[in-house]
Amino acid sequence: MASDLENKAKEAFIDDHFQLAADLYSQAIDLNPNSAELFADRAQANIKLGNLTEAVSDANKAIELDASMAKAYLRKGIACMKLEEYQTAKAALDIGVSMASADSRSRFTSLIKECEDRIAEETGQLPKEELELPSNATPMQEEPVNGLSNETQDVAPPKPKYKHDFYQKPEEVVVTIFAKRVPADSVSVDFGEQILSVSINVPGEDAYHLQPRLFGKIVPANCKYIVLSTKVEIRLVKAEPIHWTSLEYKETTVVRRVDTSSEVAMRPTYPSSKPKKVDWDKLEAQVKKEEKDEKLDGDAALNKFFREIYKDADEDTRRAMQKSFVESSGTVLSTNWKDVGSKKIEGSAPDGMEMKKWEY
């Protein structure tokens, strides 16, 4: 079943339907979470969509599952370069080039050279004029796949499962995710030069991802996190003692340096202009009540209803739901395994439409 979804995802990608491809890869990953190939391919779809931090996270997972996969390092490198994370990009590309085939090695070496030039420009080792591209130069393109264009689609971000907040000191930023009673082995945190990637995958529940491009650069080797009974606490060590006005980087960001010699600067600062004591447990309870009482309409209400059925269902019911939905191309959803387990489910198109048969 996962291979069928993977084939559909590849066809959607070829047709420039990048969001559909990413969604199908996600469904395939749910069925086969140990496939490095699926994560690497979803990383490419996310690069096309401009979801760069998600692409880095997918590439990291692919590398974790198969450390010899050259294209996973390539896609991490491309995504990091687009995020202007040239040190992280170069580190990934340096590893990947040693595993690349002869045909693709030149792709790695050209990207590594570009990273070196950008790093030199940032550190002031070369005059900026020597690094500027001529007006007729072609900008960097991500890894070509079957001659596809760079067309992307606007995608509305999903509502996060857990709330998060942050406060800061001159030397560090502390990010708190209000995830209560999650197993420590379900939490994965990766640090980049200016990227934080957090994933919480609790069996039987929807996955949670927080992947912001950070306001400022950090020191990944010195960053750490801890999973507590009421929250996940992440400590980011700043590369420079600047004041973060937000957790995420914005185009209009204005950097303000912090005077670390001042006693006032040593006190933690908060996003609010009026720091006050916050009862996080009360806030969490209030958020959960609001989510529970939220009134949804149309497809949103229907999708929530189906998710609740699936979450609380036994194994046979889940198998029935997956089989009927996939085989009918999304037009049938059954919870009766005895009824659908021994036969192929035929889909039926709404009035005025016709079913499309997938051919492999």
- Least confident among 122-131, 143-152, 221-230, 319-328: 143-152
pLDDT level of residue 153 (50, 70, 90 thresholds): very low
Contact 88, 73 (CB under 8 A): no
Task: Give the H/E segment covering residue 233.
Answer: strand 232-237
pLDDT tens by residue, 287-300: 777 766 666 666 66
Q: Which long-range contacts (CB under 8 A, 24 or more apart) does 8-15 make?
A: 8/358, 9/41, 9/45, 10/41, 11/358, 13/41, 13/44, 13/45, 13/48, 13/145, 13/148, 14/146, 14/148
Rounded CA separation 67/147 (Å): 27
Indicate whether 262 pLDDT > 80. Answer: no
- What is the structure's pLDDT at 297? 63
| 302-306: average pLDDT | 71
Structure tokens at 134: 């001529």
Indicate whether 42 pLDDT > 90. Answer: yes
Burial group, residue 37, by CB count within 10 angstroms (0-12, 13-18, 19+) = middle
- What is the structure's pLDDT at 160? 74
Indicate whether 41 pLDDT > 80. Answer: yes
- What is the structure's pLDDT at 152? 41
- Least confident among 59-63, 135-139, 301-305, 344-348: 135-139
CA nearest 244: which of 194, 189, 170?
170
Structure tokens at 17: 């339907």
Q: Which residues contact 250 (CB under 8 A, 6 or more apart)?
A: 215
Q: What are phi and psi of 256, to 5 degrees?
A: -125, 120
- Least confident among 69-73, 110-114, 192-196, 356-360: 356-360
Amino acid at 226: I
| 239-252: average pLDDT | 83
Rounded CA separation 93/72 (Å): 10
* Cα separation values, 27 from 3, 245, 304, Å: 11, 37, 17
CA nearest 45: which of 26, 64, 67, 19?
19
Indicate whether 4 pLDDT > 60. Answer: yes
pLDDT tens by residue, 43-58: 999 999 988 888 998 9
Rounded CA separation 322/355 (Å): 19
- What is the structure's pLDDT at 76? 92
Q: Which residues contact 109 (CB under 8 A, 6 or more apart)?
A: 97
Rounded CA separation 331/340 (Å): 14
- What is the structure's pLDDT at 301? 66
Indicate whether 120 pLDDT > 80. Answer: yes
Task: Give the H/E segment covering residue 176.
Answer: strand 172-177
Q: Which residues contact 60 (CB under 8 A, 6 or more apart)?
A: 76, 190, 197
| 326-349: average pLDDT | 80
pLDDT tens by residue, 184-235: 999 999 888 888 989 898 888 888 888 888 888 899 999 999 998 889 999 9
Higher pLDDT, 148 or 308: 308
CA nearest 165: which of 92, 244, 86?
244
- What is the structure's pLDDT at 46? 92
CA nearest 161: which of 225, 204, 206?
206
- What is the structure's pLDDT at 224? 93
- pTM of the shown model: 0.44
- What is the structure's pLDDT at 276? 58
- Least confident among 44-48, 235-239, 254-258, 317-321: 254-258
pLDDT level of residue 176 (50, 70, 90 thresholds): very high
| Average pLDDT value for the chain | 79
| 244-258: average pLDDT | 71
